[in-house]
Structure 1
């Protein structure tokens, strides 16, 4: 059974950390699907359609046919995303990917026990966000089948980059779009 890694992100903005994670997932899975989504627990700095454009620029930069952006998977609630992915790829084993910064929050997500039973959960380490044994135990109690990924994901955080954009932390095609759309206080004069 083919595995498909699923990575939803706020993409607000996509960072070099997102790029490292997507490239790392391509080294582990035969197919990776990503999308920009609205996280009901976050305030977003740009509209969803624009964040989807930013993510598409990153996907095009990576330029691997096994990676696709699929905005039809975008939903504020993971249960809906998993349902949509199950309909799209009924014969695949779905692997829902989160960073270690989000793992402890999953038990608070809508219908987490339901969707965790319908896929594997892959947790990617993020520098600065260690994964606790308690978080793993809580996820296992909900029925999660967990894969701890051995990837190197830099500590870049979109929230910090919205406050203080740093060009070296943002992939070049994404940076150009940020300037073009005057996002996060950037304008072409700040190059």
Structure 2
């Protein structure tokens, strides 16, 4: 059942390098509380990606198709390494709709350093998903508010998973089953040698 207090379109960009069980749970849970959830694969300017954007899009698309929820969609044309560009594209696509940019609590301290951060916070609300190991400090939330943002702590609990753990330890248990055939076939992340 949807919670009527969340009427905006939820926007979740991700490196998806590769998508994890955490991504699957997050997309599923967001779809329970928002009328529409939109995701896309993106290049994060502060990360070094292990595979191409096009390949990460294919993996994320496979995951979205496997989740198969009517209010969840992948819109790759929103992808940009800059959040402000993504939000400008989303505003053109859904004029007069409220937008909420979803981030994990691990990114809260980064927000003030984002490209055109104040503009980003004026274009959309900020939906913060708590991540295990990344507590949200009140001082960080206050800084976002001082910049004109309206952060919302979402009532979700996402397990501690990270794409970097998959890179470093090849933990198959953190990879959604729908992705394993592609990873093996294309020898992504070195998984074909370990399977």
Question: How many residue pairs align between the two structures?
Answer: 190
Structure 2 counterpart of 1:47: 52
Q: Pick one of 78, 83, 94 that aligns with 2:83.
A: 78
CA contact (8 A) 2:165 2:171 kept: no
Q: Pick one of 65, 73, 81 that aligns with 1:68.
A: 73
CA contact (8 A) 2:104 2:131 kept: yes
Point out 4+ residue stretches in structure 1 off by more than 6 angstroms: none
TM-score, normalized by length of structure 2?
0.94
**Cα displacement (A) at 1:175:** 2.0
1:118–1:54 distance in 2 versus 1, CA, 3 Å: same
Which structure 2 segments of 5+ residues have no match?
1-5
Give a deviation string over 1:20-68, Cα, whole Å, max 9, x none.
1111101110000000000000000010000000101110111011100
Give a deviation string over 1:106-132, Cα, whole Å, max 9, x none.
110000101111111000001111111
Structure 2 counterpart of 1:95: 100
My pick for the range that moved more, 159-168 or 26-35, is 159-168
In the alignment, structure 1 residue 190 sits paired with structure 2 residue 184: no
In the alignment, structure 1 residue 159 sits paired with structure 2 residue 164: yes
CA contact (8 A) 1:4 1:32 kept: yes
Structure 2 Cα separation of the partners of residues 183 and 39 of structure 1: 19
In the alignment, structure 1 residue 177 sits paired with structure 2 residue 173: no
Structure 2 Cα separation of the partners of residues 127 and 176 of structure 1: 29
In the alignment, structure 1 residue 119 sits paired with structure 2 residue 91: no
Classify the secondary structure of the residue corresponding to 2:96: coil
Classify the secondary structure of the residue corresponding to 2:47: coil
Structure 2 Cα separation of the partners of residues 138 and 179 of structure 1: 44
TM-score, normalized by length of structure 1?
0.96
CA contact (8 A) 1:6 1:95 kept: yes
Give a deviation string over 1:135-157, Cα, whole Å, max 9, x none.
11111111111110010101001
More contact order relative to length (CA 8 Å, sep ≥ 6): 1
Which structure 1 segments of 5+ residues have no match?
none
**Cα displacement (A) at 1:190:** 2.6
